Structure 1
Amino acid sequence: MNILQALFFPPEQPGGVSSMVPYIGERFRKIGWEMELFSIPKRIRNKGQEEIAFATFDWRAFAGHPVVDKYIQTLKDYVWWSRLRLKGKYDLIHAHHPVAALAMKQIYPDTPLLMTVHSSYERELILNGRIPADGPEHRFLTSLYGELEHRTDRLLTVSRSFAAYMGAYMKRPETVGVIPNGYDERRFKPISHENEVTQLVTVCRLVPAKGLDLLLKACAELRKRDRKFVLHIIGDGPIRPELEKLAQDLGIYDETIFYGYMLHPEEMMPFFDVFVLPSRAEAFGSVFAEAALCLLALVGTDVGGIAEQIENGSNGLLVPPEDPAALAEALDQLIIDPHYRYELARAAMNKAKKTYSLNRVINELKKIYVAMGPAEAPGPSQ
């Protein structure tokens, strides 16, 4: 079978999609399937001129708003780039971003299209203060779920909570399938170590949605309790200067290390003790599974896909969102009790190996690909 994996960001970008899809392609190619990865380079700007029309709503009613205009132009650019670069025919297209899915259906209207929705752009924009809730940009972006339902042959997402979120904007929400992300265990190499001072780490884009202001406030409380720790912040983003200033104002700058962007943070993660990320929303939270495979104890907020990965007190600790005091208490438990920390980390690793294995994803996708592809496609056991 010849399948096109249509990404938005180039596969070298960090994140759950990019860290998973190339490995999916590699596994399928080993069994004789053709698997091509496609994405749009960041340098492509304002090239597309082809008209865009949706079947379920008129996007022009939202025109004139910057987020909407940029989204439509990006879609036009993706169509332009795809027509320029894609010359082959495919048995199936698996898109991993709404722009990619809508562009591919415009170019290949007769090719079966599978779409996995990995995250919510509108929720990120709202939490990051870029658009208002229930405003025109928000309504435009949520209308796209109905358009995707209409235009694709099958929709998947990465967590039950996000399937429910999407379903509120669809006619048949029960048709959305759920396949959590999967990871190649060979990428993660836990290392036996004993840190005299507890090493906390977080890996994310530095934006308000990730709740790092709450993490810094929680760490300030730990310092008041005279707990010994170092906080490692891996990632970059627009609020890094604000976070650095907040760390200074809270008196924990000496305990905090800002690394900036790192392509392969999993190479460093095994040397830390606790992974913590108090996100305000998260469709899945790939980095929690990756941290678990590095044998780190997990602390996260009780939101979205994080709450589906962490069973509180069993394989990690969950805290309410927007609650730095509860976050400090959870971190305190893990700092003062290394044995408890290790037991949680071990349980998290075991669950990640079982639930988020790349083999599981491959097997589930293979069944879907065969069902959607041509009749002569190889069966799931091949």
Structure 2
Amino acid sequence: MSATTHMSPLIDDRLARRNAVLLALAQAIGGASASIVIATGPLVGYMMLGEDKALATVPVSAMVLGTAFGTLPAGMIMRRYGRRFGFMGAALLGVLAGVLASYAVFQDALPLFVFACALGGFAGAFVQQYRFAAADTASEAFKPKAISWVLAGGVLAGVVGPQTVIATKDLFSPILFAGTYLAQAGLSLIALCLLAFLQIPKPPKPKTSDKKGRPLAQIMRQPRFIVSAACGICSYALMSLVMTATPLAMIGCGLSETDAALGIQWHVLAMFGPSFFTGNLIARYGKERIVAIGLALLAGCSIVALMGIELAHFWVALILLGLGWNFGFIGATAMLTDTYRPEERNMVQATNDFLVFGFVAAASFSSGALLNAFGWSTVNWLVFPFVILCLALLVWLLTHERKGVATV
């Protein structure tokens, strides 16, 4: 029995449209928390630290780690209690994270601020599931549209977050950004109210037990898994490495907090905007080619960043960084889908996400130390060897698969 047939009692495109609109709005408002932390977290860390500024990017790293550790619990909680319960609980955590972060800024308490960012990251793991939830009750024909609507909310979140920073950073002057995190809590509260109107029935339990599938170690030994995971990790981790350091580098070069926030806004728009047609490009040109283009764009970001330290250099580099992430990460995710069978999907996806966010956290954590110890140029030079490695792996994979080796 196919998945579509099994789930047919839940298919309701009218309900799917309603849910997709609610989730898109929740994504635009509550999902803005991540861009707020990205734009301001390193600056808050920088202000709270003493002479040694190497740990300035720890707040962003904590947020990413929170997301990594929240990935598996998010799936388990929503399988047991339903989507709405999980999403509303996460939004409530987002409110608490914003309030704690604001209090930490007032008290100049870096450990509490880092904890608040981690808590917000844990809530963000549930936000990552919005796009899947939008398709839960949709027909096969409407699923792509439902997902696109939620992605549109992600684009709006890229605007809402930085604009919130600009509007509230001086609200409690001279204590910079204290008002921003109260505003973040308010955005999560609005998202909580929107999510209360979701209607996503829990799927019926299968009548027969699912196949267990192959051992995870066997799946991970596949060349296509190795290359797709490596390209996905590098695309996301390199993006995090450069993005996390950029606000600090911009301030260090004499630019303003507003310039940094707007740069993050353009970056997030570049990250999510192409998602509406990336799938079509993958279908037309192939997964590996799109991943390679994404890696080339990441290298292009560093080339532009190394050319100068004017505002235009930072903004163009951030846009290329977002585009490179979109093509590289989405293309690698599409490659990953070739490596597992339906009964292995949840296990492989969760493992891949845990690997990705683990490396992303390491990249964002090391970003501040690298910037502080070696400078902005070094951060960008580090991109090239990893890009070259991933391009070489793609060439190796294509050569390997031309010999007729099966992937699944």
What TM bracket, shorter-length normalisation?
under 0.3
What's the TM-score once normalised by structure 2's chain length? 0.25
Q: Which has the higher contact order (CA 8 A, sep 6+)?
A: 2
Bigger proportion of residues as strand? 1
